[in-house]
A = this chain, B = another copy of it.
Amino acid sequence: MAESRSRPSERRADLVRIAAELFAERGYRATTVRHIGDAAGVLSGSLYHHFDSKETILDELLSSYLNELVETYREIAGGKPVTALRGLVTEAFRSLGEHRAAITVLQNERNYLRTIPRFAYLTKAEEEVRRIWITVLRDGIETGSFRADLDPEITYRFLRDSVWVAVRWFRQDGRLAPEQLADQYLRLILQGITNR
């Protein structure tokens, strides 16, 4: 029938969202199936009507996020370096709002998840994202938009980290919208903090 895949059911999606919040707050491994059950108003065993393991819940959360992210990045990376960079940073902050839980889990459990064969696709997605950013940076350096003495590798790590880690304090309902925050960050990244 392949029914359970084609029509994922509302309830199933609800449970993923509920679990995601707990994973983000307490960590994936520290969150028990009983916690998830409690939060969903259900006994822990009942979760196994929807998922065949706790890992499957996490998988569904992460894979759906990463698929969307990589696709969006590919579209953005086309134009001029500075424009592309602005797009990437802005998109990163925008996704912080929508996918806070997924990103938090991805960061906090990264080392652990890399050891699990099932989550090998995380490394692939990470590599793809890296490729996209580095291409933009190299383009910018070659065309003279960015400084010639930049090390693309270090610069990429610097940008990636400083933007993504913001998930730790970023709140959707904070005083700054994602776009405003992206603007602030872009000014820091592009111009630096020195007065001239």
- Which residues of A are in contact with B by a Cβ distance under 8 Å? 25-27, 29-30, 108-112, 140, 144-151, 154-155, 157-158, 161-162, 164-166, 168-169, 176, 181, 184-185, 187-195
From B108, B146, B193, contact of A194 by CB (8 A): B146
Task: Decide if B112 touches A195 in the complex (CB within 8 Å).
Answer: no
Task: Decide if A157 touches B144 in the complex (CB within 8 Å).
Answer: no
B residues less than 8 Å from A108 (CB atoms)? 108, 111
B residues less than 8 Å from A112 (CB atoms)? 26-27, 30
Q: What's the dominant secondary structure at chain A's contact region? A: helix
Whether A111 touches B147, Cβ cut-off 8 Å, given contacts A161-B162, A162-B158, A190-B193, is no
From B25, B146, B157, B165, contact of A193 by CB (8 A): B146
Task: Decide if B168 touches A154 in the complex (CB within 8 Å).
Answer: no
Task: Decide if A191 touches B188 in the complex (CB within 8 Å).
Answer: no
Task: Decide if A154 touches B193 in the complex (CB within 8 Å).
Answer: no
In whole angstroms, how far apart are the Cα atoms of A189 and B158 in the complex?
A: 10
In whole angstroms, how far apart are the Cα atoms of A150 and B185 in the complex?
A: 10
In whole angstroms, how far apart are the Cα atoms of A148 and B187 in the complex?
A: 13
B residues less than 8 Å from A27 (CB atoms)? 29, 109, 111-112
Task: Decide if A165 touches B155 in the complex (CB within 8 Å).
Answer: no
In whole angstroms, how far apart are the Cα atoms of A160 and B169 in the complex?
A: 12
B residues less than 8 Å from A157 (CB atoms)? 166, 169
Residue of B nearest to A181 (CB): B154
In whole angstroms, how far apart are the Cα atoms of A189 and B162 in the complex?
A: 11
